[in-house]
Structure 1
Amino acid sequence: MDIYFKNLYKYKDLFFELVRKDIKLKYKNSILGVLWSMLNPLLMMVVLSLVFMEFFKNNIPNFPVYVLIGRLVYQYFSEATNFAMDSINVNSQLIRKVYVPKYFFPLSRVVSSLITTILTLVPLALTMVITGLPLRWINLMIVFPLFYLLVIVAGVGLLLSAITVFFNDMKHMYSIFLLLLMYMTPIFYPASIIPEKYLTLIKLNPIFPIVEMFRDFLMYNTMPDISAHLYLIMNMVIYGGIGLLVFYKTQDRFVYHL
């Protein structure tokens, strides 16, 4: 574990360059560039709001904000883990030619996606104001669920990137998992409609409690109890630890499969 932090400090300039490159590649040949990071969730929010408020008569208070929060958390998890998953294969030529800490590649994808996700907090704040939700100091507490999410995503990204080197079909299997994860997350439906017998299963979803905590801080202006934080810290340790362990144990064999 110590070597990871030492390398990160030693090669920090290289890491930042990889993050910058990932952001540039993401918006290469795009006219609007990073503005898409703000427009995409807004357009999705408008579509989902029209569908569920008008056609399905959804009566969740401040539904546009409700669905936008869920969408942003899910989108970050989906995008960052997908990008991280193929990061080793995509950079195979560089890995074979020069020494670069291999975990830089999935982690740079996770961090670059976080940066573009943070930009989407601007349209989220505007939506809150437009729908009548006041901006309060407690809203700043979203740094806690954001940090929990970052570590969980980093762990999942490391795990997926390692597995994909040896098992390329993981990319196809993971797309099915992400679809299941979306429906297991209360993005456009209230968690209260989930039957009690399925609630335990739903809570195994790593982003379910994060979405709930985001809404507590942004919509309901309430401080989650300590058990909610402890549960997410446990998730961080589990997902982050497993991702680091698997990546560390397999990274020396990557070159034979690239």
Structure 2
Amino acid sequence: MKTTIKRLQTFAHYKPLFMQLVAKDIKLKYRRSFLGYIWSILNPLMIMGIMVIVFSNMFRWDIVNYPVYLIIGQTIFSFVSESTNQAMWSITGNAALLKKTYVPKYIFPLSKITSSFVNTLFALGAMLIVFIACRVKFNIYMLFLPVILLEVYVFCSGLGLLLAQGTVFFRDIQYIYGAFITAWTYLTPIFYPIQQLPFELMWMIKHFNPLYSYITQFRTIVLDGAFPDIRLIVYGVVVAGLSLAIGLFVFLKKQDKFILYI
């Protein structure tokens, strides 16, 4: 307990640095961009438009409000992919600073996750435009959407910490994770209905793919106007908590050896 309190106090002490790192990442992403933050809205809209044209005509799935269905899955998965990929290189990318002075090392991957989360909040503007264009009925359950986003954020934080420490020792993780993300894309019902899959594969995705829980919770509220199944919520919260606990445990256990490999 004392150790936890001490670490929280340390984080509070370095909070200004954490905020500065987040702000720097956001500014760098849009530096020298003519449209700036507007790209956070235009980019997902453009990708969604292309995917709607391709998949709706190619497969003709009977999905009500397919653009809404698609942009929800696309936005959540994009956050997971972007944030964890950036967190993966957060330690090695700050090697010069870590060699010169003491800074809590977990600040770097967490700042990458947080900056990606802020970018995702900007991208929600694109989602709102699609909701309005597709005449989505706003309901009281939408107040629960921030909780779902928090679940995803916590899940990504744990995964990001795990990847960050692993990349310090094994640079090949970038290639392994790249292949994993590609497979993860197709094993997540982003652009297709999960009911189209064989029963065995559908069962595996529902039970072993956390993104299914987060995306389905979001879609249930927006598309069905109903509160998500409590089992999905519990699953999402438990997986997010386990992800953070495991990621933080492994990261803190290995962090003293980082200086020998960066």
Q: Which residue of 1 aligns with 2:232?
A: 228
Q: 2:120 aligns with which of 113, 117, 121?
A: 117
Contact (CA 8 Å) 1:129, 1:135: kept in 2 or not?
no
Question: Which amino acid counterpart does residue 221 of structure 1 have in structure 2?
Answer: G
Q: 1:214 aligns with which of 211, 218, 224?
A: 218
Secondary structure of the residue aligned to 2:36 is coil
In structure 2, list runs of 5 or more residues that go unmatched: none
The normalised TM-score by structure 2 is 0.95
The normalised TM-score by structure 1 is 0.97
Q: Which moved more, 1:163-172 or 1:197-206?
A: 197-206
Q: Which residue of 2 aligns with 1:72?
A: 75
Contact (CA 8 Å) 1:87, 1:105: kept in 2 or not?
yes
Count of residues in correspondence between the two structures: 258
Q: Which moved more, 1:236-245 or 1:70-79?
A: 236-245
The answer to whether residue 249 in structure 2 is matched with residue 245 in structure 1 is yes
Structure 1 residue 193: deviation in Å? Answer: 1.4
Question: Which amino acid counterpart does residue 118 of structure 1 have in structure 2?
Answer: L
Q: Which residue of 2 aligns with 1:141?
A: 144
The answer to whether residue 181 in structure 2 is matched with residue 178 in structure 1 is yes
Q: Which residue of 1 aligns with 2:191?
A: 188
Q: CA separation in 1, counterparts of 2:49 and 2:6?
A: 46
Structure 1 residue 53: deviation in Å? Answer: 1.5
Structure 1 residue 121: deviation in Å? Answer: 1.2
Q: Which moved more, 1:210-219 or 1:158-167?
A: 210-219
Q: Which residue of 1 aligns with 2:28?
A: 25
The answer to whether residue 5 in structure 2 is matched with residue 15 in structure 1 is no
Identical columns (%): 38
Secondary structure of the residue aligned to 2:188 is coil
Q: Which residue of 1 aligns with 2:164?
A: 161
Structure 1 residue 200: deviation in Å? Answer: 3.0
Q: CA separation in 1, counterparts of 2:243 and 2:173?
A: 18
Structure 1 residue 29: deviation in Å? Answer: 2.4
Structure 1 residue 3: deviation in Å? Answer: 3.5
Q: Which moved more, 1:118-127 or 1:193-202?
A: 193-202
Alignment deviations for residues 212-252 of structure 1 (CA, whole Å, 9 cap, x no partner): 00101111111113222111121012111110011000001
Contact (CA 8 Å) 2:195, 2:202: kept in 1 or not?
no
Question: Which amino acid counterpart does residue 226 of structure 1 have in structure 2?
Answer: I
The answer to whether residue 96 in structure 2 is matched with residue 128 in structure 1 is no
Q: CA separation in 1, counterparts of 2:103 and 2:29?
A: 22
Give the superposed CA RMSD.
1.2
Structure 1 residue 65: deviation in Å? Answer: 0.5
Q: CA separation in 1, counterparts of 2:55 and 2:196?
A: 15
Q: 2:110 aligns with which of 89, 93, 107?
A: 107
Q: 1:254 aligns with which of 247, 255, 258?
A: 258
Q: Which moved more, 1:15-24 or 1:48-57?
A: 48-57
- Structure 1 runs of 4+ off > 4 angstroms? none
Q: CA separation in 2, counterparts of 1:57 and 1:226?
A: 31
Q: CA separation in 1, counterparts of 2:55 and 2:7?
A: 46
Alignment deviations for residues 135-162 of structure 1 (CA, whole Å, 9 cap, x no partner): 2232221111111100000000000000
Q: CA separation in 2, counterparts of 1:141 and 1:238?
A: 21
In structure 1, list runs of 5 or more residues that go unmatched: none
Q: 1:50 aligns with which of 48, 53, 60?
A: 53
Q: CA separation in 1, counterparts of 2:111 and 2:259?
A: 20
Contact (CA 8 Å) 2:137, 2:225: kept in 1 or not?
no
